[in-house]
Amino acid sequence: MSNLIGKEKELKQAKESETSKFIAVYNRDRLLIEEFNDLYTSSFNKAEKYLLVIEALNKEANGLIRSKIIDGTKLSNSGCTKRILNEPEESSFICKCIGSQKTSLRIMRRMLFLIAFLILGLNSFALSQTGSKLSDKEIAIWVESYMDFSVKFDNFSGVVLVSHNGKKVFAKAYGMANYELQVPNTLNTKFRIGSVSKTFTAAAITKLYQENKIDLDASICKYLDECPAFWEKITIRQLLSHTSGIVSFTGLPEAKGNFLLLGHTSKEIVDLFRSKQLESVPGEKYNYNNSGYYLLGLIVEKVSGVSLEQYLQDNFFIPLQLENTGVDKKETLIINRASGYHQVNDSLFVNTFNINMDNSFAIGGLYSTANDLLKWANIFDSDVLFKDKIRKEILTKAQNSNYGLGWDLDSVGQNPRFYHDGGVTDFSTSLQRIGDFTIIAISNKGSDAGIKVAYDIVGKLFTYPATIRGIQDEMSHETSDKLLQLVNKAKQNFPRFRINEKLVNDVADDLMKQEKTKQAIEIYTLNTLLYPDSENAYLKLGETYLSIKNSKEAMKNFNNCLKINPSNAKAKEHLKR
């Protein structure tokens, strides 16, 4: 595709009347999906040769005979070239779409322009089948509004980036990299990315595999020192897919507290779980596992002969120009590094707790920026790092797992997604690739703020959001009944949909401050529908009706409150008046 991108400028120089006609014809007649796939696959597989033909034909408005096309393109007069010239001409639906009485070469010239637009992703047909229904402009407007809510209600601090077809649709920083020094976050701020680091560890293993230096299906004991006998049946592939059955050491009591503050040798870390019995038979069960990825880091070092940090620098950070990505070390001066903050309550936050990041090693020890993570996600679209066969293996679910080689894999609606979330010391990161979109959200305040933002944006683009914040725009004008339907649909789509009574109350309280009492009543009513056993939900609704002198509705809700808790003093007091 690199040559295709290089040709894009030349293709755009085609006459506007010509190109718009092709797109209009294509959109109007709605080619059958099977026909579209056949044409797209055929043209994509020989894309560079098609473009040579396009260039030659574009120089002659009246078309060219076949021999001159071959002479002009320097293509061989072989069966492959004949197929390139024949396929568009022989397809009956192409002829029908064009509907022209001109020569076949002229028809072919026009159709090749259409094929070029398909290759370059300039038509909307495929996207309308499985992609977002929103335009890039609509997406940017919605994310801007959503983030205003997130900052106002959740005190979001960090960076959000949305890319579509390689183009940034939205990119903005919020809050502070350092609140004590009043240094704002920027798009170049470097954040701890937690377990998103695992995608780099897995890529290191996979690169060694591509170079035939590692066998993914060999026992890990082939590459590890002091390997207990009951690890013999565990493979590297099972470590990658979290199906090894090994105990995850970060969940052990002995790996808490002061253990996190001190630096430890790799032997000391592995000794925490080396002698513990397996939790499941290798390969039979998925269980997210930090021990496995710690071992993968050691395997990279053993096979490559250099430290994991050096390997990542030499093979990824430097050649891929990930200039703002590296290993997070406390003693290292890292320009533009963000500090982490713990959100105690709505109005109070403090410095995050300290840990020794050396212990995070291959499981979560990197820092990066949103821009670098975008570059990293894009790598898996090309053969810059991995051959096509290997990339398919990376993005294929392992047996008994929803994990590939370093990535979580699932679908949102009908849209395949590969992604990874990460959290460490109140930093949270989510890197998600779905269709032609990349969504990145990173936060340095709160345990999962960045992750919630990313899931809401993905939900808005493709199905339903993941938290109440994703429907807050609707909460500013919809009725309680419609909002209840929306919440229920969101819960069906995303069972962990984040909503609770307090979050709903916060929205209603804010509407009251804006003197939007009518809509606030809809939101307080929504709370009674969502939480019918809550005395406070009915109390708040009753007090709001009382504020607009609607005594009938106020008394009804105070009585409902007392049915739940006959001792509620406030409801009793209101009823006495």
Helix, strand, coil proportions of the chain in percent (round to 5)? 55, 10, 35
Residue 345 is predicted with a pLDDT of 87
Of the CA atoms within 13 Å of residue 441, those in its CB half-sphere come to 24
- Half-sphere exposure at residue 526, Cβ-oriented, CA atoms within 13 angstroms: 33
DSSP-assigned states of every residue in 244-279: S----GGGSGGGSTHHHHS---HHHHHHTTTTSPPS
Q: Are 192 and 328 in contact (CB under 8 A)?
A: yes
Contact present, 362 and 293 (Cβ < 8 Å): yes
Query: Which class does domain 468-576 fall in?
Result: mainly alpha
DSSP for 219-246, written as a single string: BGGGT-SS--GGGTT-BHHHHHTT-S--
CATH 1.25.40.10 residue window(s) in the chain: 468-576
Select from 66, 63, 60, 56 the least CA-distant residue to 86: 66
d(Cα 212, Cα 191) in Å, to the nearest integer?
A: 34
Identity at 234, one-letter amino acid code = I
Q: What CA–CA distance (Å, rounded) separates 135 from 193?
A: 30
d(CA 30, CA 25): 8
Predicted TM-score (pTM) of this structure: 0.77
| Residues of each domain in the chain carrying CATH 3.40.710.10 | 191-431
Predicted local confidence at residue 66, as pLDDT:
63
pLDDT of residue 82: 52
- DSSP state, residue 354: P
The CATH architecture assigned to 191-431 reads 3-Layer(aba) Sandwich (3.40)
Q: Which residue has the tokens 């790092």?
A: 385
Calculate the CA 388 to chain-centre distance. Answer: 21
Q: pLDDT tens digits, the chain, 577 residues: what are they?
A: 444 344 444 444 433 333 333 332 232 233 333 333 334 333 434 445 555 665 665 556 456 666 676 676 666 554 445 555 554 443 333 233 333 343 334 434 344 444 443 444 333 223 333 568 899 999 999 999 999 999 999 999 999 999 999 999 999 999 999 999 999 999 999 999 999 999 999 999 999 999 999 999 999 999 999 999 999 999 999 999 999 999 999 999 999 999 999 999 999 999 999 999 999 999 999 999 999 999 999 999 999 999 999 999 999 999 999 999 999 988 899 999 999 999 998 888 999 999 999 999 999 999 999 999 999 999 999 999 999 999 999 999 999 999 999 999 999 988 999 999 999 999 999 999 999 999 999 999 987 999 999 999 999 999 889 999 999 999 999 999 999 999 999 998 888 889 999 999 999 999 999 999 999 999 999 999 999 999 999 999 999 999 999 999 999 999 999 999 999 999 999 999 8
- For residue 411, list its beta bridge partners: 416
Residues 272 and 270: their CA atoms lie apart, in Å, by 5
The residues, any chain, with a CB within 8 Å of residue 19's CB and separated by 6 or more, are 113, 117
